[in-house]
């Protein structure tokens, strides 16, 4: 009789789970383990919104396992210690997991693999959370890519992406010996303050909800995705990002579902544009894998000495609270606070205002997103912020500064997105909805209700360009 442990991390799903499938094929008894080991991923342990998601995701996963006569074993503490405890309690002699790619998790996993093998335990890890392993895609010279388009072309030259594995119809049972588990509440994942009611209204974590969301997206928005993805007032994107982050659905499942749908429904351009975004997710993981210092340091080292604004605390706080006086920015920041998510176009606009017009370091913005996004993901967040700051892979040049008024007029022309998040501006005519400070007195909102802009756009743009010029003159790169 052989027993194995499957260590779940960011793969909280039954379908297309190669670690689970291999362990179930080869062993008579299984312990399905989740370890809450915060310190292992510091300083990037999960933020408040992610912890809310994780709590519910674990709850749903356990309910799905119960239908197969299994359950999750939960432990809290350093991962190696918890694994050893579980091995001793269950008599297991093998551990399986699906790979993670964040720098701290990689280091931890390599150490655990070595230690457990030293104890005589069989350890096997699997590729499950990306379409391509980050080391698999190489430039002609054998190095990593720093530009998306050639990276994506190189991905497309790889062999066909394997079909996802089906969810198991049955699973080996738990061992007869008693394996200690703490309760879900004892993991202390739920934030103390009740701000998360809005998250609960918008999201349903879990594998079933992820597949339902993908099916709904294919039926309603995929065909028009290429254009629809730019309009924040409509549900034109998939909102799969937290499900993908927690591994409730695999990128292979997304790839094949979208491919089949596009063949049947002739939604080819939408499908191509959408799968390209899945490609950006691959690229973000590729860059983080090869440049593990980038969550804190710019990829382009020349920007390490960028002259950020001193004493920027009040500006950062106005940005966080959605009170900068720029409606499209404030709407985005309020959407983030209330739902744990923000539209991609608006993420780019709010990030540009913060790092360029306000000259607040991009790491401060990345930190706020980390705490408040339900899809906070070290690879995607780092790439997004370094892109906005002009210092990362395939980044927008620093001198290209988004004008939030023009961006608002282009992507939210009737102001419906702004009005849905800023009730103070509900009655402002369209003409001034993205620049209320120019509205005549009779319709301009009371500044006590909605603030005047925290910076002048033209002056702050000039100051940002001067800062860039100083960096070029005195910088190291």
Ligand X SMILES: Cc1cc2nc3c(=O)[nH]c(=O)nc-3n(C[C@H](O)[C@H](O)[C@H](O)COP(=O)(O)OP(=O)(O)OC[C@H]3O[C@@H](n4cnc5c(N)ncnc54)[C@H](O)[C@@H]3O)c2cc1C
Residue 121 near ligand X by CB under 6 A: no
Tell me 11's DSSP state.
-
Query: Closer CB to ligand X, residue 376 or residue 468?
Result: 376
User: CB of 11 within 8 A of CB of 248?
Assistant: no
The kind and range of the H/E element at 5 are strand 3-8
User: CB of 95 within 8 A of CB of 7?
Assistant: yes
Helix (H, G, I), strand (E, B) or coil at 360: coil
Residue 49 near ligand X by CB under 6 A: no
Kindly tell me which residue out of 181, 233, 344, 420 binds ligand X, with binding defined by CB under 6 A. Answer: 344
Here the tokens at position 309 are 């604004």
Cβ burial of 466 (10 Å; 0-12, 13-18, 19+) is: exposed
Kindly tell me which residue out of 385, 417, 421, 450 binds ligand X, with binding defined by CB under 6 A. Answer: 385
Beta bridge pairs of residue 75: 35
Stretch that binds ligand X, among 19-27, 232-240, 310-318, 328-336 (CB under 6 A): 232-240
d(CA 385, CA 394): 12
* Nearest residue to ligand X, scored by beta-carbon proximity: 384
Query: Closer CB to ligand X, residue 23 or residue 395?
Result: 395
Stretch that binds ligand X, among 63-71, 110-118, 135-143, 373-381 (CB under 6 A): 373-381
Count the site residues for ligand X by CB under 6 A. Answer: 28
Residue 5 near ligand X by CB under 6 A: no
Cβ neighbour number for residue 6 with a 10 Å cutoff: 26
Residue 347 near ligand X by CB under 6 A: yes
Residues acting as catalytic residues:
277, 280, 308, 344, 362, 385
Kindly tell me which residue out of 128, 373, 374, 401 binds ligand X, with binding defined by CB under 6 A. Answer: 373
Residue 277 near ligand X by CB under 6 A: yes
d(CA 233, CA 182): 43
Burial 301-321 (b: 16+ CB within 10 A, else e): eebeebeebeebeebbebbbe
Give the start-end residues of each E strand in 180-327.
Answer: none
Residue 72 near ligand X by CB under 6 A: no
CA-CA-CA-CA torsion sign (411, 413, 419, 425) = positive
Residue 369 near ligand X by CB under 6 A: yes
Q: What are phi and psi of 143, to 5 degrees?
A: -100, 180
Kindly tell me which residue out of 31, 244, 318, 464 binds ligand X, with binding defined by CB under 6 A. Answer: 244
Query: Closer CB to ligand X, residue 36 or residue 282?
Result: 282
d(CA 312, CA 333): 18
**Please, what is the minimum distance in Å from the beta carbon of residue 188 to ligand X?**
23
Query: Closer CB to ligand X, residue 61 or residue 385?
Result: 385
User: Computed over its alpha carbons, how large is the radius of gyration of the chain?
Assistant: 24
**Please, what is the minimum distance in Å from the beta carbon of residue 254 to ligand X?**
8
Stretch that binds ligand X, among 142-150, 169-177, 296-304, 372-380 (CB under 6 A): 372-380
**Please, what is the minimum distance in Å from the beta carbon of residue 248 to ligand X?**
12
Residue 286 near ligand X by CB under 6 A: no
Residue 241 near ligand X by CB under 6 A: yes
Query: Closer CB to ligand X, residue 251 or residue 445?
Result: 251
Stretch that binds ligand X, among 175-183, 330-338, 369-377, 424-432 (CB under 6 A): 369-377
d(CA 319, CA 338): 15
**Please, what is the minimum distance in Å from the beta carbon of residue 351 to ligand X?**
4
Stretch that binds ligand X, among 27-35, 54-62, 112-120, 368-376 (CB under 6 A): 368-376
Burial 75-108 (b: 16+ CB within 10 A, else e): beebbbebbbebbebbebebbbbbbbbbbbbeeb
Q: Interface with ligand X by CB under 6 A: which residues? A: 229, 237-241, 244-245, 277-278, 280-281, 284, 344, 347-348, 351, 369, 373, 375-377, 380-381, 383-385, 388
């Amino acid at each position: 009789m052989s027993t194995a442990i499957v260590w779940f991390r960011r793969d909280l799903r039954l379908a297309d789970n190669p670690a689970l499938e291999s362990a179930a094929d080869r062993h008579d008894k299984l312990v399905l383990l989740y370890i809450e080991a915060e310190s292992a991923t510091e300083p990037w342990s999960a933020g408040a919104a992610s912890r809310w998601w994780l709590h519910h995701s674990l709850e749903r996963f356990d309910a799905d396992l119960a239908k197969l006569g299994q359950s999750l074993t939960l432990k809290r503490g350093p991962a190696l210690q918890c694994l050893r405890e579980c091995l001793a309690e269950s008599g297991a002699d093998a551990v399986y997991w699906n790979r993670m790619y964040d720098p701290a998790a990689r280091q931890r996993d390599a150490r655990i693999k070595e230690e457990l093998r030293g104890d005589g335990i069989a350890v096997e890890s699997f590729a499950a959370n990306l379409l391509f392993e980050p080391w698999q895609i190489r430039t002609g010279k054998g190095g990593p890519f720093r530009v998306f388009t050639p990276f994506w072309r190189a991905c497309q030259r790889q062999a066909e992406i394997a079909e996802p594995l089906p969810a198991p119809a049955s699973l080996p049972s738990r061992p007869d010996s008693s394996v200690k588990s703490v309760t879900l509440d004892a993991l202390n994942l739920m934030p103390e303050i009740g701000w998360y009611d809005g998250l609960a209204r918008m999201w349903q974590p879990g594998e079933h909800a992820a597949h339902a969301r993908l099916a709904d997206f294919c039926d309603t928005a995929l065909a028009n995705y290429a254009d629809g993805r730019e309009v924040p007032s409509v549900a034109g994107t998939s909102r799969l990002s937290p499900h993908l982050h927690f591994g409730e659905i695999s990128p292979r499942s997304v790839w094949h579902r979208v491919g089949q749908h596009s063949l049947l429904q002739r939604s080819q351009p939408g499908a191509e544009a959408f799968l390209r975004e899945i490609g950006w997710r691959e690229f973000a993981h590729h860059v983080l894998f090869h440049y593990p210092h980038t969550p804190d340091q710019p990829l382009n080292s020349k920007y390490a000495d960028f002259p950020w604004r001193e004493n920027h605390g009040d500006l950062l706080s106005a940005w966080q609270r959605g009170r900068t006086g720029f409606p499209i920015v404030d709407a985005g920041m309020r959407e983030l606070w209330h739902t744990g998510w923000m539209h991609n176009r608006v993420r780019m606009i709010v990030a540009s205002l913060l790092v360029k017009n306000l000259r607040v370091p991009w790491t401060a913005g990345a930190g706020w997103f980390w705490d408040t996004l339900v899809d906070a993901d070290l690879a995607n967040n780092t790439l997004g912020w370094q892109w906005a700051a002009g210092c990362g892979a395939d980044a927008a040049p620093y001198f290209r500064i988004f004008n939030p008024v023009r961006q608002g007029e282009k992507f939210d022309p009737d102001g419906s997105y702004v009005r849905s998040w800023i009730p103070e501006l509900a009655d402002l005519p369209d003409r001034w909805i993205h620049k209320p400070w120019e509205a005549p007195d009779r319709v301009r909102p009371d500044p006590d209700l909605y603030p005047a802009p925290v910076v002048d756009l033209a002056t702050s743009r000039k100051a940002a360009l001067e800062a860039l010029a100083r960096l070029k003159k005195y910088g190291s790169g």
